[in-house]
Amino acid sequence: MIRQPWSAFVVGGSMAFGAGLFLLAAGTGSAASAGGDRPRLSVSRAYMPPPGSATEVMAVATVRNAGGAPDTLIGVRTDVSTIVMMHEGAGSGMDMDMVDTVALPAHRSVALTASGRHIMIMQPTRALRPGDLVHLTFVFARSAPLSIDAPVTTAAGGPPAEQGGHRHG
């Protein structure tokens, strides 16, 4: 949302640019005075069901925001791929929709699940087997990134419903 007005200010010359700076400063001030609180994020229960595909590996996790201000999950990085997507879909062979962001309301936990929103690691650079650990870094709009080592579970490690029929394209 910020990006389009910002580039318009730059194109529009010095007067518009000055107005842009003013709006930016006003926005920052109101955000600080509205809460005074901050998001406080943690990531837990991150794991990968046994991959059904060598080229697309799902990861799930729970992101908790214990703070009094919202944040937004804007992406996930990993050491086993340069392409990580966020998806939303019901599984069972249905196509997944790409999701750009996941809202993290204050005082709430958001579960990323196989049947809802989840993380999809595309074309991992090594084969992932049960017991392997994969480094995941969650990137947020406001808070500092959080990293976690997520295991590839055995069949017993994750709920059976999380494991079947997850296919893309």
Distance CA 2, CA 99 (A): 19
CB 112, min distance to Cu ion, A:
10
Distance CA 80, CA 55 (A): 11
Instruction: Considering the complex, state which of residue 112 and residue 120 has its C-beta at the smaller distance from Cu ion.
Output: 120
Of 138, 158, 152, residue with least CA distance to 51: 152
The residue at minimum Cβ distance from Cu ion is: 87
Main-chain dihedrals φ then ψ at residue 68, nearest 5 degrees: -95, 10
Is there binding between residue 152 and Cu ion (CB under 5 A)? no
Among 61, 73, 86, 96, binds Cu ion (CB under 5 A): 96
Question: Residue 29: enclosing H or E segment and its boundaries?
Answer: helix 14-35
CB 96, min distance to Cu ion, A:
4
Is there binding between residue 128 and Cu ion (CB under 5 A)? no
Distance CA 75, CA 54 (A): 22
Instruction: Considering the complex, state which of residue 76 and residue 120 has its C-beta at the smaller distance from Cu ion.
Output: 120
Distance of CA 147 to the CA centre of its chain: 12
Question: Could you tell me the two tokens for 129?
Answer: 């087997």
Site string for Cu ion, 38-77 (x = CB under 5 A): ----------------------------------------
| Binding segment (CB under 5 A) for Cu ion, from list 11-19, 63-71, 82-90, 126-134 | 82-90
CB 87, min distance to Cu ion, A:
3
Spell out the residues 6+ positions from residue 76 whose beta carbon is closer than 8 angstroms to its own: 59, 84, 86, 119, 136, 137, 138, 139
Among 41, 87, 121, 140, binds Cu ion (CB under 5 A): 87
Is there binding between residue 120 and Cu ion (CB under 5 A)? yes
Give the residues lining the site for Cu ion (CB under 5 A): 87, 96, 120
